[in-house]
């Protein structure tokens, strides 16, 4: 097993192709921010920019975005991808989620998409509280361990649930957020997506480690599990060119309060 940082460096050039990008949370964010004439924001754990482009497409020129990631190869991909879309209102910042290169009380919102399980969560939340303006937003899009266990990988790819221990359940996220007095959950939005894929594409995604979870397998474990995954799908699905399942995610909408209040 190699480091997660090495994994993202290796996969950076093809990561956007391998992963699914959901528009629904972006539309929810757009609705929440509709009254803001200007939006100074950060996308933390931005990767290759697949969600950054969606944010610009939905929020337009009123958005200025700090694109923050600790992987230089991912940021290089983001730079080229945003340039392809003629997007200029952004700045690339190579940094960790726990040490944001942003001034105090300066951002209207922070976004993080499918990345929070890679952070030291308490440190990230402390930084979010520091850099957000009063009444600023923190949007956390993620999936829980229980949601993860019910998707195509959790159900049919051996060891997937045992390997993926980094994800949080909603109650765990709430508990950690209670430690940051100025951050308060405004709402939790739930998403359920009907997916359709072929066996060949699912195998290609796994072989390319489209989920970093696969980087947690030894080579021998992965080879055995991939063979069993193919067998499981052949057993449970009649049409291997149209395999159907549901993915689920959550979006936490968190606000920074003017003053920290005691949590009960």
Question: Residue 1 — very low, low, confident or very high, per pLDDT cuts 50/70/90?
Answer: very low
| Total-model pTM | 0.94
The conformation of residue 155, written as its DSSP 8-state character, comes to: H
Contacts within 8 Å (CB) and 24+ apart, 154-158: 155/245, 156/229, 156/232, 156/233, 156/236, 157/206, 157/225, 157/226, 157/228, 157/229, 157/232, 158/224, 158/225, 158/228, 158/229
pLDDT tens per residue across span 217-260: 999 999 999 999 999 999 999 999 999 999 999 999 999 998 75
Asked if pLDDT for residue 263 goes beyond 70, the answer is no
Indicate the Cα dihedral angle 48, 83, 250, 237, nearest 10°: -70
pLDDT tens per residue across span 164-211: 999 999 999 999 999 999 999 999 999 999 999 999 999 999 999 999
Domains in the chain with CATH codes: 4-148+164-193+249-256 (3.40.50.150)
Range 120-129 average pLDDT:
98
Q: Which of 183, 221, 197 is nearest to 1 (CA)?
A: 221
Q: Which residues pair with 251 in a beta bridge?
A: 141, 189
Which has more confidence, 64 or 13?
64
pLDDT at 26: 98
Q: For residues 152 and 149, what is the distance between their CA atoms, to the nearest angstrom?
A: 8
Residues in Cβ contact with 246 at an 8 Å cutoff, skipping those fewer than 6 apart: 150, 151, 192, 193, 194, 195
State the helix-helix crossing angle for 24-32 and 50-59, rounded to 10 degrees: 40
Asked if pLDDT for residue 87 goes beyond 60, the answer is yes
Cα 83 from chain centroid? 22
Tell me the average pLDDT of the chain. Answer: 95
Burial class of residue 249 in the structure, from the number of CB atoms within 10 Å of its CB (0-12 exposed, 13-18 middle, 19+ buried): buried
pLDDT tens per residue across span 58-73: 999 999 999 999 999 9
């Amino acid at each position: 097993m190699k480091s997660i940082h090495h994994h993202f460096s290796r996969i950076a050039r093809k990561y956007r192709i391998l992963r699914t990008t959901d528009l629904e949370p972006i539309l929810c964010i757009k609705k929440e921010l509709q009254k803001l004439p200007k939006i100074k924001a950060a996308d933390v754990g931005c990767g290759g920019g697949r969600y950054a482009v969606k944010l610009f497409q939905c929020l337009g020129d009123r958005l200025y975005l700090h694109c923050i990631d600790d992987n230089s190869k991912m940021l290089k991909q983001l730079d080229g991808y945003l340039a392809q879309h003629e997007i200029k209102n952004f700045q690339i910042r190579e940094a960790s989620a726990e040490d944001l290169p942003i001034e105090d009380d300066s951002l209207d919102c922070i976004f993080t998409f499918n990345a929070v399980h890679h952070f030291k969560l308490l440190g990230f939340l402390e930084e979010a509280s520091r850099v957000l303006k009063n009444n600023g937003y923190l949007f956390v899009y993620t999936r829980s361990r229980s949601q993860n266990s019910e998707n195509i990988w959790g159900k049919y790819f051996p060891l997937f649930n045992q390997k993926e221990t980094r994800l949080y359940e909603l109650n765990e996220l709430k508990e950690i957020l209670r430690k940051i007095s100025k951050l308060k959950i405004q709402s939790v939005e739930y998403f359920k997506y009907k997916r359709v894929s072929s066996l060949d594409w699912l195998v290609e995604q796994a072989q390319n480690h489209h989920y970093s979870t696969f980087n947690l397998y030894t080579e021998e474990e992965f080879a055995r599990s991939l063979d069993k995954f193919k067998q499981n799908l052949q057993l449970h699905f009649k049409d291997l060119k149209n395999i159907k399942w549901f993915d689920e995610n959550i979006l936490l909408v968190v606000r920074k309060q003017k003053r920290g209040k005691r949590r009960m």
